[in-house]
Every structure is written in structure tokens, then in C-alpha cells.
Structure 1
Amino acid sequence: MNDNKMTPVELRATWGLGTVFSLRMLGMFMVLPVLTTYGMALQGASEALIGLAIGIYGLTQAIFQIPFGLLSDRIGRKPLIVGGLLVFVLGSVIAASTTSIWGVILGRALQGSGAIAAAVMALLSDLTREQNRTKAMAFIGISFGVTFAIAMVLGPIITHSFGLHALFWMIAILASCGIVITLLVVPNAPHHVLNRESGMVKGSIREVLMQPRLLKLNIGIFCLHILLMSSFVALPGQFELAGFPAEQHWKVYLITMLVAFVGVVPFIIYAEVKRRMKRVFICCVALILIAEIVLWGAGNHFWTLVIGVQLFFLAFNLMEAILPSLISKESPAGYKGTAMGIYSTSQFLGVAIGGSMGGWVFDRFDAQTVFLLGSIVATLWLLLSSTMQEPPYVSSLRIVLSENALNDPRLEQKLKAQRGVSSVFIVPEERSAYIKIDSKVTSRVELEALIASA
């Protein structure tokens, strides 16, 4: 088959793996809006240790993200996904069973150690055809944003109704459901697909890491999650000081996330369709800086805090949508998977530093100092962003080559001569051609026809 309609196997793989990924991310994010307030009741708790509990998840995730992705090539995708979820469940049970902040820190560290994102994307690549893989991965990306919004609302509701321990038990149950779905719903892959668009390439990390354009984007996602985590160390307490009780916080998060989801759509269309990515990117960073300044000056004024949160999430949701797109556009042909792996690692390092740094500053000083530090980080990020260049508006393709095409010595030149093709990378041992194209000028169908004529 060579059509664009998803087969039943592809639909099962997409929905199944999307659900597994979402259940795990739900467990990560539900803790974010409640740990600062409800976690202070734990034995030995302090703002600094609460920040460490928030951030250590990102540290262990960053450490294991790339190695586990490479390991899945050797031991199989499903065993690694199930193993990672079991570690996540163990960490959740430890956090649910303890009365000490150190037990929560250990549990959060184990939760992060179950780094399965790379294996999930690799299995999705194994189970979907080239022409449908972009749609499947887009579904995963959308589910990430929706999960974040749901978690911000559910976390405070569950914790107020049943307690912090019950929240961790629920997280363990959700991850266990992920294991069941992986084993019973997600299809088995008949073979591993060597796909550089979704998987890491050994020996290429340093080369990709030092690409100047990609480096700026990796610093961007690093800064974004420093600001997210440090802000959420300080925000819940500020809302309480403003006379807004913790059990009501979900209302603010629900309204601000709904407004943010609707508000970012025209900007995404403008950035992608009108090809104004750099302009939108810089405006996002500027809006985050304004949000941090508003939060810094808000004090105990409730509505000023709400305005700061709303501005932050407008920019955050938009940045979460366009940053992966920019990574895809800027990555060299055949190295998108490696670039995305480094990007994810940078994101989780931001989580680690943002949580830990925010907690330490909050403990030593106050919430206003946390937001002041966020303003400084956002200012430095804005200065760096102003040096960005407009990205190439290209898409990444992988086309499987026939024996005849592989034997054509002029295939690469033919592809490069095609209008709309910016770069070509042929890997004979993988029987693949990795091509960057301007989809407004040419298409996969045209290139496949060209290759078939070889």
C-alpha cells in the first residue's frame, strides 16, 4: 500500500503509544502545581528540598534519555518501555508510601529514571509507514500539550480531595495502565526500522550538538523549562498569600490554559503558513520576560498574579509548539532523531535546574527573588534569540530505496536537482534517502516517482 490512509495497525500504534506517553506525562505534571504547598507538610520539608523534589525528575530523565533510546535498539522497544514504566511505578509507590521529603525525592528520581520517550518514538516509527509517520508523531505532540493542561487542573483537585499520597498512588495506577496498554493494545513490531528521523545515530551526538543554530534552540528549551519549574516553585504560595486557597488553584490553571490553547492557534498559523517563525519566536521570549516582570511586581495582588500566569502560558504553549518544528527544520538531513534527542535532554536539564534553583532561591530569599531571577534568565534568552536567523522552511523525509535506485550512481545528483530539495543524504546500508524539501514546491509523491524511474 502506498496511500495516506492509516491502517488499523497504524491507528492502534498511534493511539496506544500516545495514551502510554500521555499517562506517564500526566503523572509528571500533576505534581507540579501542588508539591510546593502540600509538600511542606512532609517531614523535613523546606522550599529548597521541595525544589529539589521537583527538579530531580528532570535530572534523572536527562541522564537516561539518550542511553535508553540507544538501548532499545538492542533489547527491543517494548521490553524497555515496560521496564521504564515499572521503574516509574516503583518511584511513584515510594513517593506515595513515605512521610519524608527525602522519600519523595527518591521516588521522583526513580520516576525520571524510567526514560521511555525515545523508545516510544522508535516503536512508533517501527509500526507506521513513512507517509503516515508525521501524522502519528504530530498526535503524540498534541497529546503532550493536552496532557499538560489536564494535569494542571487535576493535580490540585485530587490532592485537595484525597491528599498528596493519594496523588502519587493515582500516578502509580496510571503508569500501570500504561504497561497493560503497551502489552495488550500496542502491536508488536515485526522488525526494527533504522530511521534517523526518529532515532539516535551513534557517534553523531557531538556533531549535532555543536550546530550553532540547533544550539540556540536547545538553549531556548533549556531556558523555557528553567522558567516553568522555578515559577511553579513560587506561584502556589503567592496565590495563597493573595487569599486564594490551594484547593481553588485549579480554577486559575483551567481558565489560563483554555485561553492559552485558543490564543496560540492564529500565531502558529502565522508562523508556519506565513513563514514568520523568527518573529513569532522572539515575540514569545519577550512575552515570557514581560510575564516574569509582572509576577515579580505582583506581590500579593491576586489579579496581577493571574495576568502574569496568563501571559506566561500564552507564550509557553506557543513555544512548545514551534520549538520542535524549528528543530526539525534546522536539523541536518538524516539527523533529526539525534537532534530531537539532544533537544529533549536539554529540556529535562532545564527542569532539573529550574526546580532546584527556584527552590534554593525561594528558601534563601523569597518568591519575588525567584521571579526576578526568571526575568534575568528571560532577558539573556531574548538577547540570544535576537541573533537567530530565519529558519529554512523545509520538511524531513525518509524514502526507502529499491535495489535499482541504490545502484544508480547519479541518484543523489538527480534528487538535489529537483526543485524544492535543499539537501540529500543517502545511506546505502539502511537502503534509505533522507531528504529536506520545501513542501510548497515539491512532495514525497514526486520524489518517489523520480526514484522509481532510476
Structure 2
Amino acid sequence: MTALERRASLSLAAIFASRMLGLFLVLPVFALEAGRYPGGNDPETVGLAMGIYGLTQGILQLPYGIASDRFGRKRVIALGLVVFAAGSFVAAAASTMAGLVAGRALQGAGAVSAAVTALLADQTRDEVRTKAMALVGASIGLMFALSLVAAPLLASVVGLAGLFAVTGVLALGCIAILRWGSPPEPRQHRNVPRGRLSEVLRHAPLLRLDVGVFVLHAVQLAMWVALPALLVQAGLDKENHWQVYLPAVVASFLVMAFTLFPLERRGYLRAVFLCSVAAMGLVQIGLVFASRVPHIALLAGLLFVFFCAFNVLEASQPSMTSRVAPQHARGAALGVYNTLQSLGFFTGGAVGGWLAKNVGVPGLFTACALLMAVWLVVAWPMRAPRAVQTAEEVLADEARAT
């Protein structure tokens, strides 16, 4: 990477990481801490409160992405961060589950993922884009690992309300990083012809990635509706859940570093991608059996495989989306992508809670396994985009842009 690309990647990864740390601090303890609120013992209500964030994100990701194409990435990102912080403080002040739902919904209205990803794509070349996106993915994964360690400890001191307050402060800190840490915003995306939304929605490779990101995050959130309770049933107190999560996350980063990047350079990105989808499906099948007789060693092994696959998919999908999308509609394409990601969060929380309540935890993981099988079928025809353009293609792109 060039110095500018490193600065862009690090600063935007820091924004993603700080924002996601706030969300992840809540995730490991939400289902357990919600019991302190009236109505918090109903899995369906808890799942709705966890997932409503994704619904409002899903509604607004596309408008934010399109707005970033027209009015500039940084303006849109700053606005979204302010809204996200406001929602965090509303949730911190809540005394009922209805208040938590309202705060989470307002948090989701700060839907800046598409604009941040588009800004990173604007500031990096195709041949280093996967590394840049992987840096973002790794930072998110590290924050997830940190939250798994810190959340139970912080929750025991400040409670769920305090965690939401920390989330709001982190969001405001992201605005400072955006203002002073991120490189100046490229203006070329404002000077190229505007793509139509229909152009993005008819793009088959983009649609495959959109389906994939929906399934990925639906399964991720649905798992955490039930997983913390399984660890407790296996004999691990919630304060010690990090002892399972942290080694699995850290080891999975090493696996990603030695598989994704070298194999992508050798042209095996499609194979790695499809194997990761299949691995996540096998994890769900394993959790069906583990949910009947929870055992720490089995759950730890399944989580390790899950994080290996999840990190590869989390790093490669946004990179592939930004590379196959038309340059003049990149914000819109990433807006659709992040819309489906957010709707996946909502579906995973809301439907996951309903499944856990009505068909049981084994039924929940069975549904997740079936969803992963559907994704594998949809993704099978995919072709990995080339990382490097020829000189003729670069000149053609520049000609189209002018």
C-alpha cells in the first residue's frame, strides 16, 4: 500500500472498529442483562430488541450510500455517526424493553457502513482492496474479541445502560477520527456519470454477494440469541465466556492471514470463499448436536471454525462488491449490499428469537444450516474478480470517467 492508502485504511478501520466495539459490547451480554428489564425474559422480545437495529439500518443504508455519491462521503458519515450516538444515549436512558427497542432503532438510523466502505474503496487501488477491507474486517474481529472480554466485566460494574453510554461516546470519537485522521476525500466520484439503481439490482454478481451478506449476518446474530446460554449450561459463567471466544477469534485471524491473501494471489479466492460458506454450514449442524448436550470443548471447536470462515467472508465480500460494482454507482451498490447486511441482522435477531422460543434451540441451528445451504447454491456460479487491471482497462475506465 502507499502511505495514503495505509492512512485511509487505518483511519477508516478505526472508525469501523470504534463503532462496532460499541455494538459488540452489548451483544455478548444483551440476552442475559435484558432480564433485568420488564418483559426481558421473553426470547422473542429480546430478539426483536437485538435485531431492530438491523431493520432501520436496512431501510437507510441505500439512501445513505446514494447520498454519499452525490453530497460527499464524509458529510454523510458524520451525520450518521451523530444519529447513532443519539440512539445510544436513548438506549442508555431506557428503563423498559420498549425504550431499548426505540434506542436500538435510532442507533440503526445512523447507517454509515455503505458510505465508509465506499470511501475506503475510493481511496485504495483494486490490487490492495482486499487487504484494506481485510484490515477493516480484522479490526472488527479484534473489537469483537475485546468486547467478549470486556463486556461481562463492564456490565457487572455499569450495567447495560452504561454499555450503551460507552457506545455513544465511541461514536462521537469516530467523528474526530473522520475529521482529523482520515485523508482528504477524493472528489472524482462526484464528477462521473450517475448510475441507476436498476443497474445495480440487475447485476447478477452483485446480487449473489447481496444474498450472501444477508445470510452471513442473519446466521451470526441468530447464533448469539442462543449461544451465551449454551455456554452457561455447559458450566461456564458469563464472566468467563471470553476464555472460549478470545482464543477462537485470535487463532482464526492467523488462519485467515495464511489462507485468504496467499490463495487470492494464486487465483483461488472462489475456492476459499465457497469452502468458508460450507464450513459455516457444518458449524450450524454441529451446534444442533451441541445444543442437546452442551460441552465446552465442542462449543469452543465449533466457534473456532465459525470465526475462521466468518473472517474470510467478512473480509472478501465487501472487497469483491466494490470491485465488481460500476465505478459511477459504487455508493449505490455498497448501499444495497449494506442494506441486505442490516436486514440480515434484523432477521437473525427477530426470527432467531422466535425460533428459539417456538421450536427450540436445535430448531434454530437447523434453520441456520438450511440457510447456509441456500447460500452455497446461490454462490456456486460466482467468479472472483481480478485484483489487477491491465493498462488498457485502466485507460478505458479513465476515459469513461471523463
**TM-score with structure 2 setting the length:** 0.87
Instruction: Tell me the residue number matched to 2:364.
Output: 370
Say which of 43, 50, 55 aligns to 1:47: 43
In 2, Cα distance between equivalents of 1:64 and 1:356: 19
Instruction: Tell me the residue number matched to 2:249.
Output: 257
In 1, Cα distance between equivalents of 2:319 and 2:120: 19
Deviation string, structure 1 residues 7-57 (Cα, Å, up to 9, x no partner): 6xx766554443233211211222222111111221112111111112111
In 2, Cα distance between equivalents of 1:243 and 1:18: 36
Per the TM alignment, residue 292 of structure 1 is displaced from its structure 2 partner at its CA by 0.5
Per the TM alignment, residue 167 of structure 1 is displaced from its structure 2 partner at its CA by 0.9
Question: Counterpart amino acid of 1:69?
Answer: G
In 2, Cα distance between equivalents of 1:59 and 1:238: 27
Summarize the Cα distance change of 1:156–1:67 in structure 2 as closer, same or farther, 3 Å threshold: same
Question: Is 2:323 the counterpart of 1:326?
Answer: no
Summarize the Cα distance change of 1:13–1:277 in structure 2 as closer, same or farther, 3 Å threshold: closer
Instruction: Tell me the residue number matched to 1:444.
Output: none
Question: Counterpart amino acid of 2:353?
Answer: G
Given that 2:48 and 2:350 are in contact with CA atoms closer than 8 Å, whether structure 1 keeps it comes out as yes
In 2, Cα distance between equivalents of 1:129 and 1:225: 26
In 2, Cα distance between equivalents of 1:422 and 1:193: 15
Question: Is 2:143 the counterpart of 1:150?
Answer: no
Say which of 364, 381, 391 aligns to 2:384: 391
Given that 2:69 and 2:331 are in contact with CA atoms closer than 8 Å, whether structure 1 keeps it comes out as no
Question: Counterpart amino acid of 2:228?
Answer: P
In 2, Cα distance between equivalents of 1:396 and 1:223: 30
In 1, Cα distance between equivalents of 2:72 and 2:295: 53
Instruction: Tell me the residue number matched to 2:27.
Output: 32
The alignment's C-alpha RMSD in Å is 3.0
In 2, Cα distance between equivalents of 1:231 and 1:81: 29
Question: Is 2:276 the counterpart of 1:284?
Answer: yes
Instruction: Tell me the residue number matched to 2:214.
Output: 222
Given that 1:55 and 1:355 are in contact with CA atoms closer than 8 Å, whether structure 2 keeps it comes out as yes
Summarize the Cα distance change of 1:394–1:18 in structure 2 as closer, same or farther, 3 Å threshold: closer
Higher Rg: 1
In 1, Cα distance between equivalents of 2:341 and 2:254: 24
Per the TM alignment, residue 123 of structure 1 is displaced from its structure 2 partner at its CA by 5.3
Question: Counterpart amino acid of 1:61?
Answer: Q
Q: Classify the secondary structure of the residue corresponding to 1:275.
A: coil
Summarize the Cα distance change of 1:195–1:80 in structure 2 as closer, same or farther, 3 Å threshold: closer
Say which of 218, 234, 245 aligns to 2:226: 234
Summarize the Cα distance change of 1:182–1:332 in structure 2 as closer, same or farther, 3 Å threshold: closer
Per the TM alignment, residue 72 of structure 1 is displaced from its structure 2 partner at its CA by 3.8
Q: Classify the secondary structure of the residue corresponding to 1:34.
A: helix
Summarize the Cα distance change of 1:327–1:117 in structure 2 as closer, same or farther, 3 Å threshold: closer
**TM-score with structure 1 setting the length:** 0.78
Gapped regions of structure 2 (runs ≥ 5) = none
Residues 66-77 of structure 1: matches in 2 within 5 Å? Answer: 66-73=62-69, 75-77=71-73
Summarize the Cα distance change of 1:394–1:78 in structure 2 as closer, same or farther, 3 Å threshold: closer
Deviation string, structure 1 residues 179-206 (Cα, Å, up to 9, x no partner): 33344555665x733269xx9x755222
Summarize the Cα distance change of 1:374–1:15 in structure 2 as closer, same or farther, 3 Å threshold: closer
Residues 70-109 of structure 1: matches in 2 within 5 Å? Answer: 70-73=66-69, 75-109=71-105
Gapped regions of structure 1 (runs ≥ 5) = 398-414, 432-454
RCO comparison, higher one (Cα < 8 Å, 6+): 2
Judging by fraction of residues, say which structure has more strand: 1
Per the TM alignment, residue 257 of structure 1 is displaced from its structure 2 partner at its CA by 0.2
Question: Counterpart amino acid of 1:32?
Answer: L
Instruction: Tell me the residue number matched to 2:309.
Output: 315
Say which of 153, 157, 168 aligns to 2:164: 168
Question: Counterpart amino acid of 1:393?
Answer: R
Instruction: Tell me the residue number matched to 1:381.
Output: 375
Judging by fraction of residues, say which structure has more helix: 2
Given that 2:133 and 2:318 are in contact with CA atoms closer than 8 Å, whether structure 1 keeps it comes out as no
Summarize the Cα distance change of 1:301–1:122 in structure 2 as closer, same or farther, 3 Å threshold: closer
Summarize the Cα distance change of 1:120–1:266 in structure 2 as closer, same or farther, 3 Å threshold: closer
Per the TM alignment, residue 295 of structure 1 is displaced from its structure 2 partner at its CA by 0.7
Per the TM alignment, residue 247 of structure 1 is displaced from its structure 2 partner at its CA by 1.0
Question: Is 2:6 the counterpart of 1:6?
Answer: no
Question: Is 2:344 the counterpart of 1:350?
Answer: yes
Given that 2:133 and 2:316 are in contact with CA atoms closer than 8 Å, whether structure 1 keeps it comes out as no
Per the TM alignment, residue 378 of structure 1 is displaced from its structure 2 partner at its CA by 1.5
User: How many residue pairs get matched?
Assistant: 398
Per the TM alignment, residue 340 of structure 1 is displaced from its structure 2 partner at its CA by 2.8
Say which of 96, 106, 113 aligns to 1:110: 106
